[in-house]
Structure 1
Amino acid sequence: MSNSTIQQDTASTQATPNPNKALWEKGDFTRIAETMRESGTALVARLGVTKDLMVLDLGCGDGTTAIPAAKLGAKVTGVDIARNLVEAGNLRAQAEGLTNVTFQEGDATNLQGLEDKTFDLVISIFGAMFAPKPFDVAKEMVRVTRPGGRIVMGNWIPGDPTLVAQILKISSAYTPPPPEGFVSPMLWGVESHVLERFQKAGISPENISFAKDTYIFNAPFPPTEFVARFKNYYGPTMNAFEAAEKSGKAVELQRELEELFNSQNKSTEPDTTSIPATFLRVTVTC
């Protein structure tokens, strides 16, 4: 064994595991993303994506917004911290015959390898909001956006009565308290925090705008099956069930989530689910 191999092995054993990476590689988020395709396509259609526009999709998952942007002719780079989702995105692009979109691993707090002022449009729909160090995230998004370019974020709103905010609220009641210094990702859904973060990154308040928007989860199965998908494939909900099992409260958690999903289902068709969720759409002009 060479010295370089020994050094690499030592470095890998000493490296601190990234809890955010572990969370999103847990389960299989593609099973949730399948219910998000229609709204992802509709959202991208409203963003004015044109041929050869340079687009970065940050926290892209397996391409719910990256692939529709590529289909409109943009040159798209998808970045996600989860290796399994990057692999799934590249497979989807290959299956669609798209050569103008690539997916790669990366950390929203440090977009190393992406040059300054590269992208005309940076999109992050329920992605970068979950990264730690939100001020670093804002700084990096601004850094890679060209002057006159745009950043568009979709962020869940704390305390909102619709689906995802309630899933996260219910789940948090069953999990241990977060570590000291933890910054809730839901603060990206609060306008004052968003303003502070982008102002620190050099953006004037008049170049930051907000709008409430709606994302619809559509599934060809009943709400109880949708709950099962979150339980089995969505990292935060998986963690909540693991903690609830230990405290003997898994049945209560299951009941709460099933009540939530059933009460919010707007579908009039049997054995199908259609649930709208409100989010904060942030638009930043650089």
Structure 2
Amino acid sequence: MNPNKALWEKGDFTRIAATMRESGEALVDSFGITKGLKVLDLGCGDGTTALPAAALGADVLGVDIAKNLVEAGNRRAREHKLSNCTFQEGDASNLEQLEDKSFDLVVSIFGAMFAPKPFDVANEMVRVTRHGGRIIMGNWIPNDPTLVAQILKISAAYTPPPPEGFVSPMTWGVEDEVTLRFTAAGVPKHNISFARDTFNFNYPGPPSRFVGDFRSYYGPTMNAFAAAEGSGRADELQTALEALFDSQNTSPSQDITRIPATFLRVTVVRE
């Protein structure tokens, strides 16, 4: 199996996505969605941004490599009676099933950044965007002090080194790298812009229990714990993550977790 597919079909990312709904809706509100806009949500998960876009009147196709997340997205769309939102399996590195210039807006929030072959990913996003259309990405930033970058950094210390040729998904949070990828896909540099933004995780329980959900349901953290258990360091990893979540929790209640995480917002205009 494709290792990226295996990673995201592992566990149940919908459990983590449930904590991201509020910020997903707020982010989509800033996209300027209009009725009938054709939107591709790439690496869509179970629809954290796809469903809000459809609720605003866009015709949305969500594409994700994980079969279980595609099924969950289609189920959520039916539950919300959003017939203008559908999900299908696909690889962000090769969108061969999608026609050139077929979308007004291509969105990828913490999705396509995890696909291999980043230059292919950028090329495919540009290819399926119509002239005058936009691409909007949300990407975690390497070494950022906030939650997700730190989870991945801590987890990396417990896992074997990646295979030769591996390109870290966190490079999508480096402006120069993003510019290089999109200019190679034919986008003029002046059509690429960046901003720092914040995404909040809202969890109905204490930080330690939220760590438990990452350990049980989030593929990268599950892999880190599997490796840590093999070396007798699982308790050490658990302690490090609990300290991180505790320190970043901004909720005044000990029984509720609210953690802001900084990300790089990328906007590309297709000429």
From 157, 161, 184, the equivalent of 2:145 is: 161
Aligned AA for 1:208? I
From 129, 134, 142, the equivalent of 1:150 is: 134
Equivalent position SS for 1:123: strand
CA-based RMSD: 0.4
Cα distance in 1 between the residues matched to 2:262 and 2:4: 24
Match of 1:39 in 2: 23
Determine if the alignment matches structure 1 residue 222 to structure 2 residue 206.
yes
Cα distance in 2 between the residues matched to 1:285 and 1:50: 17
Match of 2:40 in 1: 56
Aligned AA for 2:6? A
TM-score (norm 2): 0.99
From 95, 98, 115, the equivalent of 1:114 is: 98
From 256, 261, 265, the equivalent of 1:272 is: 256
Map Cα deviations across residues 8-57 of structure 1 (whole Å, 9 max, x no partner): xxxxxxxxx20000000000000000000000000000010010000000
Equivalent position SS for 1:56: strand
Deviation at 1:270, TM superposition (A): 3.2
Determine if the alignment matches structure 1 residue 126 to structure 2 residue 106.
no
Determine if the alignment matches structure 1 residue 284 to structure 2 residue 268.
yes
From 236, 240, 246, the equivalent of 2:230 is: 246
Map Cα deviations across residues 78-106 of structure 1 (whole Å, 9 max, x no partner): 00000000000000000001100000000
From 97, 112, 115, the equivalent of 2:81 is: 97
Aligned AA for 1:89? G
Deviation at 1:123, TM superposition (A): 0.3
Match of 1:3 in 2: none
From 86, 109, 114, the equivalent of 2:70 is: 86
Aligned AA for 1:226? F
Map Cα deviations across residues 126-169 of structure 1 (whole Å, 9 max, x no partner): 00000000000000000000000000000000000000000000
Equivalent position SS for 1:34: helix
Gaps of 5+ in 1: 1-16
Deviation at 1:265, TM superposition (A): 0.1
Cα distance in 1 between the residues matched to 2:191 and 2:56: 26
**Residues 13-32 of structure 1 mapped to structure 2, 5 A cutoff:** 17-32=1-16
Cα distance in 2 between the residues matched to 1:83 and 1:112: 17
Cα distance in 2 between the residues matched to 1:144 and 1:81: 17
Percent identity of equivalent pairs: 74
Aligned AA for 1:63? G
Deviation at 1:62, TM superposition (A): 0.1
Equivalent position SS for 1:107: coil
Aligned AA for 2:146? T
Match of 1:71 in 2: 55
TM-score (norm 1): 0.94
Map Cα deviations across residues 61-89 of structure 1 (whole Å, 9 max, x no partner): 00000000000000000000000000000
Aligned AA for 1:182? F
Determine if the alignment matches structure 1 residue 256 to structure 2 residue 240.
yes
Equivalent position SS for 1:35: helix
Cα distance in 1 between the residues matched to 2:187 and 2:59: 25
Aligned residues: 270
Cα distance in 2 between the residues matched to 1:164 and 1:152: 19
Aligned AA for 2:134? R
Cα distance in 2 between the residues matched to 1:265 and 1:144: 39
Cα distance in 1 between the residues matched to 2:8 and 2:145: 24
